[in-house]
Structure 1
Amino acid sequence: MSSDACAGVFVGLDWAVYVHAVCVIDTAGKVLDRFEIAHDREGLTELVRRLSRFGSRLRIAIERPSGLIVDALVEAGHQVFPIRPNAVKASRPRYRSHGAKSDASDAYLLADLLRTDGHRWSALSPQSDAIRALRALVRARDDLIGARVALGNQLLATLQSFWPGAACVFADITSPIGLAFLKRFPSPAAAARLTEARMARFCCVTHYSGRRSPAELLTRLHSAAPGRTPVQTQDALAQVVRSLVAVLTPLVNQITELTRRIERFIESLPDGQIIMSFPRAGHVCAAQILAELGDVRERFPTLDRLAAEAGAVPVTYQSGKSKSVAFRWACNHRLRQAITCLADNSRHANAWARSLYTAARARGCDHPHAIRILARAWLRVIWRAWMDRKPYDPELHLGALKLASAQGG
């Protein structure tokens, strides 16, 4: 089949961990080919070879926007259309009422959705290698922080069960100084002979910042509620503390190393300089925004599309005389978290942001709602700067606000 026939061919690929189901149909929904390929070198080569029989630029629907198989299809010249899993799930009743599910049927469903509703989706626009590298670093750091928080909560719960004082000596038990203290003193018995002089030596060896004196640190340790755990149980829990500290220590070090790498990387990107120019954006927050925003301007031709992707606008439900506005759950959660982080930080350094936030709180909005309102306002400025490829200019922003206010009046 020649490449001229590509317009009449639709492909659905149901992604799995080890084996992927593929279905090829024509404009009438007739199955032209159906097969499975393994997720390995030979399988990806076979996938590209078999699809080449139907043309060199096919339209392919898949439930994920990234991964090795997506890269292979894009590199082969095909158009890849990522379809959200919730859209696929909502469409299943159109094809069957019994509720059964299989990889082969989902592959056909994806191909047929592309055939009938393809105008609703946009083909994947590959990001540059720099953005893909930045995204890998940022997402890995975010995931490691999630693991650190989970392990830190487990460590905190363990300490509160038999030695609450150790949990409040330092502000963060997962900080290097907090972990060093627990490694040296994992139980009340290990810290029984801890004096002010020994605490001072410990702080010196571990390069403690000195915000609290050794006497204050000891007061925190001894003023907490005493534990009532038997000695044998204390020994067991002390071993749990040692194990958690042994896991957390390299994890915290790797997060620090990734943070340094991200800070150097974002400074080298032109779009990184644009995002970092916003008030209190910093390096990591700017990198989180740019990693999800990308450098393909065609992805967000309008501000509304970017706002919806970032979850900064609500969803309206209307039926007859009934109308309600609800929180937007379906969005890029990483982008929303990064945008709201910037918005929250900016109100401490920017008068316009502070006044917008204060006005929202005065109207009765709680803190998260007010931050989302501020994030939506910042998105307008970020989108414009990103599209124009120009850093944020506070004077230009203020002038635009005055002009809009004058025109509105």
Structure 2
Amino acid sequence: SDSIRQLNQLVLFRRKLVQDRVSLSNKITGILKQYFPQSLLWFKEKDTVIFCDFLMRWTTLEQAQAARKTTFLAFFSKHNSHYPDVNEARFTQLKAAKPLTRDEAIIKPNSLMISLLVPQLKQLLLAIRTLDEEIKELYIQHDDHIIFDSLPGAGPCYAPRLLAAFGEDRARYQSASDIQKYAGIAPVIEASGQKAWIHWRYHCPKFLRQSLVEWAGQTVRYSYWAKAFYEQQIGKGKSHNVAIRALTFKWIRIVWRCWQDRKVYDESTYLNALRVKGSQLLKYAVDN
């Protein structure tokens, strides 16, 4: 439908903007390390509006140190950073800070770049926020959103991406294997003569695979069996990426069934099914 295709385009655009945000944030961090590293210590998150506004107001340590205490504290209060002890500590550190360099040949070019790049970062943050609002509005209008809301670790970021990935045409994927192969999660087995080998599937929709793998990685933090499965794979000597891909393979079968049956995911139901089957995964989880 138009709404699903629109949702798919929006989540793809959002992902690209997030990549731009990470790249630009890293570039700004690298420049600040050259002449104003103290600013990096005062903000835990670098991709925030408050961080951008701080650097747009004070691009150098000298400018920040010239600010009055009331002005400095009012800035954080205006940005809803109501932590008196933290803000007092920031101001104390600011006044005690010594410049990394006094070389104007370093300070001026780098501070100029900060004044040029930081507004771009702020605009990216606002753009992502706008996309989030549009995505949410489209997503909650779809009846299937309750299925993807129920998935561990999906949240407002991955749930719309998963809905866009599966779509609404139940006949499109006749089995979980269909989407496992189409998304590039199922490996390719090739044979020649008496030799056979397995390799990564190269030709597939990259964003679709990325959405599934990234979400599966999040489930390790929120799902009991997913964490046990991941640790089991690591215990077998598998790398992190291989373990997450194997976990993604299992999750696709579960999500496909929920999607086909129009039922929300229930962790306890799945754990009970594993228990009935005498799954070695549960035994591993209990023993470890």
- What is the TM-score of this pair, normalised by structure 1? 0.62
Moved more, 320-329 or 199-208: 320-329
Aligned positions of 1:294-333 closer than 5 A: 294-333=167-206
Residue 260, structure 1, aligned to residue 133, structure 2: yes
Name the structure 2 match of 1:170: 43
* Number of aligned residue pairs: 279
Which residue of 192, 203, 213 corresponds with 1:340? 213
Residue 179, structure 1, aligned to residue 52, structure 2: yes
CA distance in 1, matches of 2:171, 2:44: 45
Contact 1:266 1:283 in 2 (8 A): no
For 2:222, what is the secondary structure of its paired residue?
Answer: coil
Aligned positions of 1:232-243 closer than 5 A: 232-243=105-116
CA distance in 2, matches of 1:370, 1:221: 45
CA distance 1:225–1:398, shift in 2 (3 Å):
farther
TM-fit CA distance, 1:210: 3.1
For 1:324, what is the secondary structure of its paired residue?
Answer: strand
For 1:134, what is the secondary structure of its paired residue?
Answer: helix
Rg comparison, structure with higher value = 1
For 2:3, what is the secondary structure of its paired residue?
Answer: helix
TM-fit CA distance, 1:223: 9.1
Residue 383, structure 1, aligned to residue 256, structure 2: yes
TM-fit CA distance, 1:168: 3.1
Aligned positions of 1:8-407 closer than 5 A: 128-194=1-67, 198-208=71-81, 210=83, 213-218=86-91, 226-228=99-101, 230-405=103-278
Contact 2:64 2:94 in 1 (8 A): no
Structure number with the higher helix fraction is: 2
Contact 2:36 2:61 in 1 (8 A): yes
| 1:343-364 alpha-carbon deviations (Å, 9 max, x no partner) | 2222222211121111111111
Contact 1:313 1:328 in 2 (8 A): yes
For 2:174, what is the secondary structure of its paired residue?
Answer: coil
TM-fit CA distance, 1:248: 1.8
CA distance 1:222–1:379, shift in 2 (3 Å):
farther
Name the structure 1 match of 2:284: none
- What is the TM-score of this pair, normalised by structure 2? 0.86
State the identity %.
28
CA distance in 2, matches of 1:277, 1:291: 16
Aligned CA-pair RMSD: 2.6
Contact 1:262 1:284 in 2 (8 A): no
Gaps of 5+ in 2: 280-288
Structure number with the higher strand fraction is: 1
CA distance in 1, matches of 2:215, 2:120: 31
For 2:197, what is the secondary structure of its paired residue?
Answer: strand
CA distance in 2, matches of 1:195, 1:326: 62
CA distance in 2, matches of 1:300, 1:224: 61
Gaps of 5+ in 1: 1-127
CA distance 1:195–1:214, shift in 2 (3 Å):
farther
